[in-house]
Structure 1
Amino acid sequence: MSPFAIKPLDDTPQIRNGLGELLVETVASGGSVGFVHPLLFDDACVFWKDSLGSAARGERVVLGAFDGEVLIGTVTLVLKLPPNQPHRAEIAKMMTRVSHRHRGAATALMRTAEQLAVAHGRTLLVLDTAVEDGAAPLYEKLGFQLTGVIPDYALKPHGGLTGTMVYWKRIGAVAIPSS
């Protein structure tokens, strides 16, 4: 059992600030999560305000990992996808504070996200991660299958291009399409 408390997050100033700090730290330390360095704290908080608003509408779930009262990690389960994809969800914005990496928080976040996806009737999870310094070993340990690599997919936070690795995993009871 994880020593970290994992729970869905609501949009409060304290949560938004904690997520903003985590995003700024992740980007500053080279994490490829859609932003470049330097990332302003206010810009990070605007991103999380939008993301948490989407969660309030049921379009996603933003999970947080807590060490006591301190937010030390997050992952987002994206549920709102096009009408022809009601069976799948996407994993996004997996981040853990540098001080808490390799201690089980990311694994606990991913397991909770998978359980929530199953509870929402999803049978397929997809995600991508940077080739350089991404979380591929974690995802593979959790049973995700590599589909392939797209070269030069995104800018790294400190410059240069990195490829992305695309992963998938079947979860829950797999639905059989009707003919």
Structure 2
Amino acid sequence: MPSDIEVRRLDANEAAASIPALADVLIDCVEGGASVSFMAPLARETALAFWQHVADGVAANERILLVAEDAQRRIVGTVQIVTAQPENQPHRADVAKMLVLQEVRKKGIGARLMHAVDTHAQQAGKTVLVLDTVTGGDAERLYARAGWQRAGTVPDYALMPDGQFCATTFYYKQLDPARRPPQALTV
């Protein structure tokens, strides 16, 4: 694991200032074949608009944005924790857009980002996390090693950036299984 990588949470101002660098990461991942909601070629304007939406969500306290930076403070990876959930799910968060630049993959950056997800989600009072990923992709091994449980697979759920159908596997992780909402009384 590279010791010169720092994973940190961005505040609203940092998120807004990081939009161009985050767009670079997203474009790199889509060009590399990642099925992360976008088709290839991904226009820079589309990537910038997506990250503006994310920055707005950070400012509204609806999501947590984590980044991995190298020694030159260049963003080489990112992940989000979507904390804004329906009224009956205040304990849950979605993990979204776990992205690592192609040139620095397989160096433990994804694992460090996922460890930070656990920490920041717990600090936000979240006890159940949910995510989805391309079935059979490298990320599945990462999530399994990080303690995520496979919930199931949906065939032809999404498209790869080249337009081919792909299956999606859903995962969940319980951060504090002892913390459960009160059970309804039975009469």
Query: Which residue number in structure 1 is paired with residue 33 of structure 2?
Result: 30
Q: TM-score, structure 2 length as denominator?
A: 0.91
SS of match in other structure, 1:12: helix
Deviates more, 1:102-111 or 1:165-174: 165-174
Aligned pairs (5 A) from 1:86-165:
86-165=90-169
**Count of matched residue pairs:** 178
CA offsets 1:52-79 (integer angstroms, 9 cap, x no match): 1101111001111001111100000010
Matches within 5 A, 1:61-80: 61-68=64-71, 69-80=73-84
Return the alpha-carbon distance in structure 1 between the equivalents of residues 136 and 158 of structure 2.
11
For structure 2, the 5+ residue unaligned runs are none
Quote the Cα distance in structure 2 between the aligned partners of 1:62 and 1:142.
19
Q: CA deviation at 1:133?
A: 2.8
Corresponding position of 2:23: 20
C-alpha distance in structure 2 between counterparts of 1:177 and 1:51, whole Å? 29
Aligned-CA RMSD value = 1.4
Q: Identity across aligned pairs (percent)?
A: 35
Q: Are residues 132 and 161 of structure 1, via their aligned partners in 2, closer, same or farther at CA, if it must alter by over 3 Å?
A: farther
TM-score, reference length from structure 1 = 0.95
Contact 1:126–1:169 (8 Å) recurs in 2: yes
**1-structure distance, mates of 2:166, 2:103:** 25
**Of the two, which has the highest radius of gyration?**
2
Displacement after TM superposition at 1:111 (Å): 0.6
Structure 2 counterpart of 1:57: 60
Give 1:173 shift.
Answer: 5.5
* Residue identity matched to 2:167: G
Measured in 1, the distance between the counterparts of 2:138 and 2:58 equals 25
Give yes or no for the alignment of 1:48 onto 2:72. no
Q: Secondary structure in 2 aligned to 1:55?
A: helix
Structure-2 separation of matches of 1:39 and 1:142: 30
Residues of 1 paired with 2:155 and 2:77: CA distance? 28
Letter of the 2:161 partner, please give it: P
Partner of 1:7: 8
Post-superposition Cα deviations, 1:105-163, rounded to whole Å, max 9, x if no partner, equal 11111111111111111111110001143510000000101011000000110121001
Give the letter aligned to residue 20 of structure 2.
N
Unpaired segments of 5 or more residues in structure 1?
none
